[in-house]
Amino acid sequence: MTDWVRVIVKSPVVQKIEQMVPDYSLVGESVFFSNDQFPWANHLEANWSVIRQEFEQVFQHVNALPNFQDIMPRQKRISPDDGWKTYYFYAFGFKATKNCDRCPETWKLLKDIPGLKVAFFSILSPGKHIPEHCGKHKGLIRYHLGLMVPEPKEQCRIQVGGQMRHWEEGKSLIFDDTYPHAVWNDTDGYRAVLFLDIERPFRFPLSWLNWTVSQILSFSPLAKEAKANYQRWEKEFEALDSGNTIKSVE
C-alpha cells in the first residue's frame, strides 16, 4: 500500500464511514447484493449482448491491452504477471475517451449509472489465480457482468467472505470487496467481465462523507499516476493500431 493510500484508508473520515455503514447504508450490510437493490443492473443484463459484441472487438487485441498493474502499479502485489488484462472506460472522474469511442454503446449504457466510479473490461487468462485480498473502502460496491465465461464454470470462480460464486454470461454479480476475496480461472479459456465500482448509496450525512472520500481519491497522486499510465498505453496502442502490428489472441 502506498503512503497516500494508507493515509486515506486510515483517515478519520474513512474510519467513520466504516463504523456507520450498518446504520446508514441504503442497501444494508452484506457480502452479496441483488439486482433489486441496484435496478440499473437489469438494464445492463438486458443489453449484455451489445456489450459483448463491442468487447469481442477489443478482445481481438487482448495481447496489446495493459495489465492491471501497468495502470495501477500497486496491484502488482496480487497480480505480478500478464494474466490480468484491462480496458478502461472511466475511473474517478477520468474518462478514457478513445476507449469509450471504440465501444460507444457500452459507454452509453455506463455513463448514466448512479454513482459510477470505475468501469473497465476485466480479462483473466487461462490458469490465472488472484490470491485473497481485501478492498480498502466500504463506500464502494463491486459489480461484475459476465461477458465470457469458460467451461467448466465450476473451475472459473470467485470466493468472497467465504462464499463461492460462479460467473454466468449476461448475469450480474454484486458484492462488497472489503470482504476477503480470491479468484481462480482453472480453465483453458479466457474469463471476461464488465467490472464496475459503484458508490454505495447512503443516507445523509454519510452520503456526503462518502462523496468527500471519492473527491479526495479523484485528485490523489494514485489517480494521477493511473491516468498517466493509461495515456501512455493509449499512445502506444494507437501507434500499433495505425501500423497494423497489433497481435490478436490466438
Domain holding 133, by residue range, is 29-242
Going by pLDDT thresholds of 50, 70 and 90, the confidence category of residue 247 is very low
Average pLDDT, the chain: 90
The whole-angstrom separation of Cα 195 and Cα 189 is 19
58-75 pLDDT, tens digit per residue, is 999 999 999 999 999 989
| Strand order from edge to edge, sheet including 163-166 | 129-133, 181-185, 156-160, 163-166
pTM score of the predicted model = 0.90
Predicted confidence at residue 216, as pLDDT, reads 85
Are 170 and 121 a contacting pair, CB within 8 Å?
no
The pLDDT, as a whole number, for residue 214 is 87
Domain for residue 38, yes or no?
Answer: yes
Is 135 part of a structural domain of the chain? yes
Q: Is residue 23 part of a domain?
A: no
Which pLDDT score is estimated for 242?
58
| pLDDT at residue 11 is higher than 70 | no
Whole-number Å distance between alpha carbons of 54 and 190: 16
pLDDT score of 15 more than 50:
yes
pLDDT for 1 equals 38
Contacts of 56 (CB under 8 A, 6+ apart): none
Residue 16 is assigned to a structural domain of this protein: no
pLDDT tens digits, 17-35: 778 888 999 999 999 999 9
227-236: pLDDT as tens digits = 999 999 999 8
Q: Does residue 70 sit within a domain?
A: yes
b (16+ CB within 10 A) / e for 222-242: bbebbbebbeebbeebeeeee
- Averaged pLDDT, 88-108: 96
CA quadruple 225, 226, 229, 233: dihedral, nearest 10: -170
Question: pLDDT band for position 10 (50/70/90)?
Answer: low
Cα angle for residues 75, 41, 117 (degrees, 5° grid): 40
Distance CA 176, CA 37 (A): 13
Task: Compare 206 and 243 and report the one with higher pLDDT.
Answer: 206
pLDDT greater than 70 at residue 121: yes
CATH of the domain at 195: 2.60.120.330
Q: Is residue 1 part of a domain?
A: no
Domain count along the chain: 1
Question: Considering the chain, what percentage of its residues have pLDDT values greater than 90?
Answer: 74
H-type alpha helices, 25-103: 40-46, 48-59, 68-71, 97-102
User: What pLDDT, in 10s, does the model give residues 125-168?
Assistant: 999 999 999 998 899 999 999 999 999 989 999 999 999 999 99
Specify the DSSP element, H or E, that contains 180.
Answer: none
